[in-house]
Chain A
Amino acid sequence: MSQPTEGRGASARKQVQEEFPDVAKLIILKADVQRRTVRYTPQALATVDPAIHPVNGRWIYTEKADFSPESLLLRDGTSILTAPLATAEDPYLVDVVDGRTVLVDHGEVVEEVEFWTKPDFYDKFTTSGKPMWHIAHARPQRIEFNPYSNCRFWDNGKGCKFCGIASTYTRGKREASKPLHLDLRDIAETMQEALKQKGRFTSVFLTGGSIPQGAEVFDDEVDLYVDVLQAIGESFGGRKFPSQLLGSAFSLKQVERLYSRTGIMSYTSDIEVLDPELFSWICPGKSEWVGYDRWKQRIVDAVGIFGKGFVTAGLVGGVELAKPHGFASEDEALKATLGEAEGLAQKGVGSVACVWVPYRGTVFQKQKVPSLRYYVALARGLQNLRNQYRISIEMDNYRRCGNHPDSDLGRI
């Protein structure tokens, strides 16, 4: 794969479609929309109905009450997690043409889209008086709880350079009294309420910032998740239920504790970037407390508890090209990343990548995103590895997450 010389906009997308005929055009489109982000026209915004669409949203990366749509769905059920970015150079337009909501790229209507719909529980309140949309966040088929809204790696400024969790929390606290923790009773009530809407959810997802404190590193974080999962588990009679925890790199003892005391079924830990030197630069807190090799090994060890196909390593796809210390070329970055990912796959761990966007409030907010070709090659490479090593990605796929072009490809 040569250095990117792709054109802009529609021509770039079409070039990539021709180069990768085995990758669905809808998934190529998703990756492109996520890297370029969107701008909503007034006509599109006029179709937003707060009775149907979620216009408020609270999770660790968003504090939203601006009455714009939460996000988009393509006609094949693929989610596009995106939001307007003030500094975006070449965003897609979301417009209304002939009565349909569509994505427009340099004047060309590309695809029809629909806005996510609001779950019933968003309009309900807990007995403590909190709106339930403050307690859980919904994707089309997933309910998410963020028990801890900050990240302790930022205590000494060593949070991950692409991550906006701390700035989102700071702004949310200042502007909307966003709490640091969620109350367990509020969580339990919200889960119970959410389940009343038959067919609305296929998975429970938990994540939050890292808490390295405790007798053993991350013990406090694990304690928190055990409590939260037990509160959620009240709705499921204490049995295992479709669920995913995205947490720090827990030790084997901690993973055993989580698995045996709760209904959790799958586990992800974000190693973010598959290169030890870049890991130290981009994730100094993770590097300081655990280190690259140990972080990787802990993810591998978790397979022995959760099982193959129920443990993934999360990546911020593209951040390996961040300047000035990232890989010099996309070729080099792809080869290195897939090489490391193969090492994980050989041990039963699937790697999944989101599309990095340098959002406001992150150290990397002025960086440039890699080419569309890079993201499509990365997505195909990661799915090919899972196929080769027979690792299911159901736990983190289009329905249970929706943020990874690579796991979208796992639908076939």
Chain B
Amino acid sequence: MGQAMQNWKELIRAGVPAVLTASDGAGEASLAYTAELEVDADGFLVYPEGFESSQINKNLVRSLWFDRRISVLVLDPELGPLELRGIPRRAIISGKRFEQAYRAAQNAHPDADLSTLWLIEVQEVVSRSRESRQRDQDSCHPIVAHLDRFAVAQASA
């Protein structure tokens, strides 16, 4: 996954869409689809959340407060789906950086609002491609596969 750890920033900077997910206190996940992720100069993943009242916004607050991980799913054209796992470290709700992002949001959609610029520390990148998942299961859980996958080929009748 060394390449993925390098690649994710380039993917985000290329503007690939992503799905962000964070859980509430009962463990129930909320999702947000976004094509507006950025990577800032300090290496944080930056997510602009437009809706103050959204469950995903509340869950991001909870994740920051209690050091809980969130996940962001992006699609690498070569490596397939990648899950970025990290913790929100800062919620920017005011100041010049916020206002700049607010204006950008309104330039994209005149009716847009901006609640929070979330700065997320990406700690781990995990491949979610079919091949990677198969490899992981075969090596770590060899006993769970169907028997016929282990059988020798039989001659045709």
A and B co-occur in one complex = yes
A binding-site residues for B, Cβ under 8 Å? 24-27, 73, 75-77, 114, 116-117, 140-141, 197-200, 394, 399, 411-412
Shortest CB distance B107–A (Å) = 10
Residue of A27, A76, A117 touching B95 (CB-CB under 8 A): A117
- Separation in Å of the B27 CB from the closest CB of chain A? 14
Q: State whether the Cβ of B25 lies closer than 8 Å to any Cβ in chain A.
A: yes
Task: Give B64's nearest chain A residue, CB to CB.
Answer: A76
Can you pick out 29 interface pairs between chain A and chain B where the beta carbons lie within 8 Å of each other? A75-B89, A75-B90, A75-B91, A76-B61, A76-B65, A77-B92, A77-B93, A77-B94, A114-B95, A116-B94, A117-B95, A117-B96, A140-B94, A141-B93, A198-B99, A198-B106, A199-B99, A199-B103, A199-B114, A200-B94, A200-B99, A394-B53, A399-B52, A411-B61, A412-B24, A412-B59, A412-B61, A412-B62, A412-B65
Indicate the member of B53, B58, B61, B96 with the most A CB atoms within 10 Å. B61
- Contact status A197-B99, CB under 8 Å: yes
Chain B min CB distance to A383 (Å): 13
Chain A residues with Cβ below 8 Å from B64 are: 75-76
Write the nearest CB–CB distance from B157 to chain A, whole angstroms.
64
Complex contacts, B98 vs chain A, CB 8 Å: 199
Interface size class of B (residues with CB under 8 A): 20 to 34
Quick check: A199 and B90 within 8 Å, CB to CB?
no
Contacts of A76 in B (CB 8 A): 61, 64-65, 90-91
Interface digits, B70-109 against A, CB 8 Å rule (1 contact, 0 not)? 0000000000000000000111111110110111001000
B-side residues, CB < 8 A to A, are 24-25, 52-53, 58-59, 61-62, 64-66, 89-96, 98-99, 101-103, 106, 114, 116
Known: A198-B102, A199-B103. A73 touches B94 (CB 8 A): yes
Q: Closest 5 A-B residue pairs measured CB to CB?
A: A199-B102, A24-B65, A140-B94, A77-B93, A77-B91
